[in-house]
Copies of this chain bind each other. A is one copy, B any other.
Amino acid sequence: MGAAGDPRPDPAVTRPPGVGGTEAADTKAARTRSAIIDAALRLFRERGYDATTMRAIAAEASVSVGNAYYYFASKEQLIQGFYDRAQVDHAAAARPVLETEVDLAARIVGVGEAWLEVMSPYRPFAGKFFKNAAEPTSPLSPFSAESSPARVAAVALWEEVLAGSDAKIPRRVRPELPELLWLYFMGIVLFWVHDPTADLSATRRVLHRTAPLVVKAIALTRLPVMRGMIDDVVALIHDVRSVFPIPESP
Protein backbone atom coordinates (compact mmCIF):
# COMPACT_ATOMS: atom_id res chain seq x y z
CA MET A 1 0.00 0.00 0.00
CA GLY A 2 2.67 2.47 0.96
CA ALA A 3 4.99 1.23 -1.73
CA ALA A 4 4.43 2.68 -5.17
CA GLY A 5 3.49 -0.77 -6.32
CA ASP A 6 1.47 -2.30 -9.09
CA PRO A 7 -2.09 -1.02 -8.93
CA ARG A 8 -3.25 -4.09 -10.78
CA PRO A 9 -5.77 -6.03 -8.74
CA ASP A 10 -4.27 -9.18 -7.34
CA PRO A 11 -5.76 -12.20 -9.11
CA ALA A 12 -6.92 -14.96 -6.86
CA VAL A 13 -5.57 -13.38 -3.72
CA THR A 14 -8.16 -15.11 -1.62
CA ARG A 15 -9.17 -18.63 -2.35
CA PRO A 16 -12.72 -19.30 -1.21
CA PRO A 17 -13.52 -22.94 -0.48
CA GLY A 18 -14.92 -25.05 -3.27
CA VAL A 19 -14.04 -25.36 -6.92
CA GLY A 20 -13.40 -22.50 -9.27
CA GLY A 21 -12.37 -19.96 -6.72
CA THR A 22 -10.17 -18.17 -9.18
CA GLU A 23 -11.93 -14.84 -9.36
CA ALA A 24 -12.24 -12.85 -6.18
CA ALA A 25 -15.48 -11.26 -5.01
CA ASP A 26 -17.86 -9.87 -7.60
CA THR A 27 -16.41 -6.39 -7.55
CA LYS A 28 -16.54 -4.00 -10.45
CA ALA A 29 -12.85 -4.56 -11.06
CA ALA A 30 -13.30 -8.31 -11.13
CA ARG A 31 -16.15 -7.99 -13.61
CA THR A 32 -14.11 -5.76 -15.89
CA ARG A 33 -11.25 -8.24 -15.73
CA SER A 34 -13.59 -11.03 -16.67
CA ALA A 35 -15.12 -9.07 -19.49
CA ILE A 36 -11.70 -8.45 -20.98
CA ILE A 37 -10.68 -12.09 -20.74
CA ASP A 38 -13.99 -13.17 -22.22
CA ALA A 39 -13.57 -10.82 -25.13
CA ALA A 40 -9.99 -11.90 -25.64
CA LEU A 41 -10.69 -15.62 -25.63
CA ARG A 42 -13.68 -15.18 -27.91
CA LEU A 43 -11.63 -13.27 -30.42
CA PHE A 44 -8.68 -15.64 -30.08
CA ARG A 45 -10.95 -18.53 -30.97
CA GLU A 46 -12.51 -16.67 -33.89
CA ARG A 47 -9.42 -15.14 -35.45
CA GLY A 48 -6.43 -16.64 -33.72
CA TYR A 49 -3.98 -15.02 -31.35
CA ASP A 50 -1.90 -12.90 -33.68
CA ALA A 51 -4.81 -11.62 -35.71
CA THR A 52 -6.52 -10.39 -32.56
CA THR A 53 -5.38 -6.88 -31.71
CA MET A 54 -5.51 -5.31 -28.30
CA ARG A 55 -7.63 -2.58 -29.84
CA ALA A 56 -10.16 -5.19 -30.92
CA ILE A 57 -10.16 -6.85 -27.52
CA ALA A 58 -10.68 -3.52 -25.80
CA ALA A 59 -13.50 -2.62 -28.17
CA GLU A 60 -15.14 -6.01 -27.72
CA ALA A 61 -14.98 -5.60 -23.95
CA SER A 62 -16.19 -1.99 -24.21
CA VAL A 63 -13.17 -0.48 -22.55
CA SER A 64 -10.35 1.67 -23.82
CA VAL A 65 -7.02 0.24 -24.83
CA GLY A 66 -5.32 1.92 -21.95
CA ASN A 67 -7.81 0.46 -19.55
CA ALA A 68 -7.16 -3.05 -20.77
CA TYR A 69 -3.51 -2.39 -19.97
CA TYR A 70 -4.50 -1.17 -16.56
CA TYR A 71 -5.77 -4.64 -15.76
CA PHE A 72 -3.37 -6.76 -17.77
CA ALA A 73 0.27 -5.92 -18.13
CA SER A 74 0.45 -7.27 -21.64
CA LYS A 75 -1.34 -9.23 -24.28
CA GLU A 76 0.43 -12.32 -23.04
CA GLN A 77 -0.90 -11.80 -19.57
CA LEU A 78 -4.38 -12.46 -20.85
CA ILE A 79 -3.25 -16.01 -21.27
CA GLN A 80 -2.78 -16.37 -17.55
CA GLY A 81 -6.50 -15.84 -17.18
CA PHE A 82 -7.01 -18.53 -19.75
CA TYR A 83 -4.81 -20.90 -17.76
CA ASP A 84 -6.77 -20.38 -14.60
CA ARG A 85 -10.01 -21.08 -16.39
CA ALA A 86 -8.67 -24.09 -18.22
CA GLN A 87 -7.49 -25.55 -14.94
CA VAL A 88 -10.91 -25.15 -13.36
CA ASP A 89 -12.69 -26.55 -16.42
CA HIS A 90 -10.30 -29.47 -16.58
CA ALA A 91 -10.83 -30.34 -12.94
CA ALA A 92 -14.58 -30.25 -13.52
CA ALA A 93 -14.41 -32.33 -16.69
CA ALA A 94 -12.29 -34.90 -14.91
CA ARG A 95 -14.78 -35.37 -12.07
CA PRO A 96 -16.81 -38.23 -13.61
CA VAL A 97 -13.74 -40.37 -14.24
CA LEU A 98 -12.30 -39.61 -10.85
CA GLU A 99 -15.49 -40.70 -9.17
CA THR A 100 -16.19 -43.91 -11.05
CA GLU A 101 -12.99 -45.40 -12.37
CA VAL A 102 -10.55 -47.14 -10.02
CA ASP A 103 -7.98 -48.60 -12.41
CA LEU A 104 -4.96 -46.31 -12.36
CA ALA A 105 -4.17 -46.48 -16.06
CA ALA A 106 -7.80 -45.82 -16.92
CA ARG A 107 -7.87 -42.86 -14.55
CA ILE A 108 -4.80 -41.38 -16.19
CA VAL A 109 -6.29 -41.84 -19.63
CA GLY A 110 -9.62 -40.43 -18.50
CA VAL A 111 -8.14 -37.32 -16.97
CA GLY A 112 -5.99 -36.87 -20.06
CA GLU A 113 -8.97 -37.19 -22.37
CA ALA A 114 -10.81 -34.65 -20.25
CA TRP A 115 -8.01 -32.21 -20.86
CA LEU A 116 -8.09 -32.80 -24.60
CA GLU A 117 -11.82 -32.23 -24.51
CA VAL A 118 -11.62 -28.97 -22.58
CA MET A 119 -8.75 -27.60 -24.61
CA SER A 120 -9.93 -28.52 -28.08
CA PRO A 121 -11.40 -25.12 -28.94
CA TYR A 122 -8.05 -23.52 -28.27
CA ARG A 123 -5.84 -25.98 -30.03
CA PRO A 124 -5.33 -23.94 -33.21
CA PHE A 125 -3.37 -21.37 -31.29
CA ALA A 126 -2.32 -23.34 -28.25
CA GLY A 127 1.16 -23.17 -29.69
CA LYS A 128 1.18 -19.43 -29.20
CA PHE A 129 0.33 -19.94 -25.58
CA PHE A 130 3.02 -22.43 -24.92
CA LYS A 131 5.49 -20.38 -26.81
CA ASN A 132 5.09 -17.67 -24.22
CA ALA A 133 5.02 -20.22 -21.46
CA ALA A 134 8.44 -21.47 -22.46
CA GLU A 135 10.22 -18.28 -21.56
CA PRO A 136 11.62 -18.67 -18.07
CA THR A 137 11.37 -15.02 -17.11
CA SER A 138 7.76 -14.93 -18.19
CA PRO A 139 5.17 -15.21 -15.45
CA LEU A 140 3.39 -17.56 -17.81
CA SER A 141 5.99 -20.25 -17.39
CA PRO A 142 4.43 -23.23 -15.65
CA PHE A 143 7.32 -23.06 -13.20
CA SER A 144 6.91 -19.40 -12.34
CA ALA A 145 5.61 -18.06 -9.06
CA GLU A 146 2.63 -16.51 -10.82
CA SER A 147 1.57 -19.87 -12.18
CA SER A 148 1.95 -21.39 -8.76
CA PRO A 149 -1.77 -21.54 -7.91
CA ALA A 150 -2.66 -23.23 -11.18
CA ARG A 151 0.27 -25.58 -10.82
CA VAL A 152 -0.62 -26.54 -7.28
CA ALA A 153 -4.19 -27.21 -8.37
CA ALA A 154 -2.99 -29.33 -11.26
CA VAL A 155 -0.69 -31.39 -9.07
CA ALA A 156 -3.55 -31.85 -6.63
CA LEU A 157 -5.62 -33.27 -9.46
CA TRP A 158 -2.98 -35.86 -10.18
CA GLU A 159 -2.72 -36.63 -6.50
CA GLU A 160 -6.40 -37.46 -6.65
CA VAL A 161 -5.85 -39.65 -9.66
CA LEU A 162 -3.46 -41.67 -7.53
CA ALA A 163 -5.40 -41.59 -4.30
CA GLY A 164 -8.62 -42.84 -5.84
CA SER A 165 -7.05 -45.76 -7.65
CA ASP A 166 -6.81 -49.35 -6.48
CA ALA A 167 -3.16 -49.58 -7.44
CA LYS A 168 -0.67 -50.58 -4.77
CA ILE A 169 1.93 -47.90 -4.90
CA PRO A 170 5.38 -48.40 -3.40
CA ARG A 171 5.91 -46.14 -0.42
CA ARG A 172 9.31 -45.07 -1.54
CA VAL A 173 8.07 -43.23 -4.61
CA ARG A 174 4.58 -42.34 -3.47
CA PRO A 175 5.29 -38.75 -2.36
CA GLU A 176 6.97 -37.84 -5.63
CA LEU A 177 4.35 -39.33 -7.89
CA PRO A 178 1.78 -36.53 -8.10
CA GLU A 179 4.39 -34.07 -9.29
CA LEU A 180 5.92 -36.65 -11.62
CA LEU A 181 2.54 -37.45 -13.12
CA TRP A 182 1.99 -33.77 -13.65
CA LEU A 183 5.36 -33.59 -15.38
CA TYR A 184 4.51 -36.64 -17.45
CA PHE A 185 1.34 -34.97 -18.53
CA MET A 186 3.21 -31.80 -19.43
CA GLY A 187 5.06 -34.04 -21.85
CA ILE A 188 1.75 -35.22 -23.27
CA VAL A 189 0.70 -31.60 -23.63
CA LEU A 190 3.94 -30.84 -25.42
CA PHE A 191 3.15 -33.66 -27.80
CA TRP A 192 -0.40 -32.38 -28.21
CA VAL A 193 0.87 -28.96 -29.17
CA HIS A 194 3.04 -30.50 -31.85
CA ASP A 195 0.55 -33.13 -32.97
CA PRO A 196 0.13 -32.74 -36.73
CA THR A 197 -2.94 -34.96 -36.99
CA ALA A 198 -6.20 -33.09 -37.33
CA ASP A 199 -8.21 -35.43 -35.15
CA LEU A 200 -5.58 -35.68 -32.41
CA SER A 201 -5.32 -39.38 -33.03
CA ALA A 202 -1.57 -39.31 -32.46
CA THR A 203 -1.88 -37.66 -29.07
CA ARG A 204 -4.67 -40.05 -28.12
CA ARG A 205 -2.60 -43.01 -29.14
CA VAL A 206 0.37 -41.83 -27.14
CA LEU A 207 -1.81 -41.18 -24.13
CA HIS A 208 -3.44 -44.60 -24.27
CA ARG A 209 -0.15 -46.36 -24.72
CA THR A 210 1.92 -44.47 -22.20
CA ALA A 211 -0.58 -44.67 -19.35
CA PRO A 212 -0.15 -48.44 -18.84
CA LEU A 213 3.58 -47.99 -19.17
CA VAL A 214 3.57 -45.44 -16.40
CA VAL A 215 1.65 -47.83 -14.18
CA LYS A 216 4.02 -50.63 -15.00
CA ALA A 217 7.01 -48.44 -14.33
CA ILE A 218 5.62 -47.52 -10.94
CA ALA A 219 5.20 -51.18 -10.11
CA LEU A 220 8.74 -51.95 -11.21
CA THR A 221 10.18 -49.53 -8.68
CA ARG A 222 9.46 -52.33 -6.18
CA LEU A 223 12.24 -54.48 -7.56
CA PRO A 224 15.30 -54.75 -5.34
CA VAL A 225 17.62 -54.03 -8.28
CA MET A 226 15.88 -50.74 -8.73
CA ARG A 227 16.24 -49.68 -5.18
CA GLY A 228 19.58 -47.89 -5.47
CA MET A 229 18.60 -46.00 -8.56
CA ILE A 230 15.22 -45.03 -7.21
CA ASP A 231 16.83 -43.57 -4.13
CA ASP A 232 19.18 -41.58 -6.31
CA VAL A 233 16.33 -40.30 -8.41
CA VAL A 234 14.27 -39.31 -5.39
CA ALA A 235 17.23 -37.48 -3.89
CA LEU A 236 17.75 -35.72 -7.18
CA ILE A 237 14.13 -34.65 -7.32
CA HIS A 238 14.38 -33.16 -3.86
CA ASP A 239 17.54 -31.37 -4.85
CA VAL A 240 15.98 -29.97 -7.99
CA ARG A 241 12.89 -28.90 -6.13
CA SER A 242 14.97 -26.98 -3.62
CA VAL A 243 16.46 -24.91 -6.41
CA PHE A 244 13.16 -23.31 -7.27
CA PRO A 245 11.20 -21.05 -4.96
CA ILE A 246 8.04 -22.85 -3.94
CA PRO A 247 5.48 -20.37 -2.66
CA GLU A 248 3.40 -22.97 -0.86
CA SER A 249 0.30 -21.30 0.52
CA PRO A 250 -0.15 -21.81 4.30
Residues of A within 8 A of B (CB): 127-128, 130-138, 141, 143, 191, 193-197, 202, 205-206, 209-210, 212-213, 216-217, 220, 223, 225-226, 228-229, 232-233, 236, 239-240, 243-245
List 6 contacting pairs A-B, 8 Å CB cutoff, sorted by A.
A131-B132, A131-B134, A134-B134, A205-B239, A220-B225, A220-B226
Contacts of A141 in B (CB 8 A): 194
Chain multiplicity (copies):
2
Known contacts A206-B236, A223-B225; is-contact A135 B128 (Cβ 8 Å): yes
Residue from B138, B193, B194, B229 within 8 A of A213 (CB atoms): B229
Closest beta carbon of chain B to A225's beta carbon, Å? 7
Whole-angstrom CA separation of A240 from B187 in the bound complex = 13
Closest residue on chain B to residue A132 by CB atoms = B131
Whole-angstrom CA separation of A232 from B217 in the bound complex = 12
Cβ contact within 8 Å between B131 and A127: no
Cβ contact within 8 Å between A213 and B236: yes
Closest beta carbon of chain B to A68's beta carbon, Å? 21
Cβ contact within 8 Å between A136 and B193: yes
Closest beta carbon of chain B to A121's beta carbon, Å? 17
Whole-angstrom CA separation of A212 from B191 in the bound complex = 27
Cβ contact within 8 Å between B229 and A196: no
Closest beta carbon of chain B to A23's beta carbon, Å? 28
Closest beta carbon of chain B to A94's beta carbon, Å? 24
Cβ contact within 8 Å between A206 and B240: yes
Contacts of A130 in B (CB 8 A): 134-135
Residue from B143, B202, B239 within 8 A of A243 (CB atoms): B202
Cβ contact within 8 Å between A233 and B206: no
Contacts of A232 in B (CB 8 A): 209, 212-213
Contacts of A217 in B (CB 8 A): 229
Known contacts A220-B225, A236-B210; is-contact A243 B134 (Cβ 8 Å): no
Residue from B143, B196, B239 within 8 A of A244 (CB atoms): B196
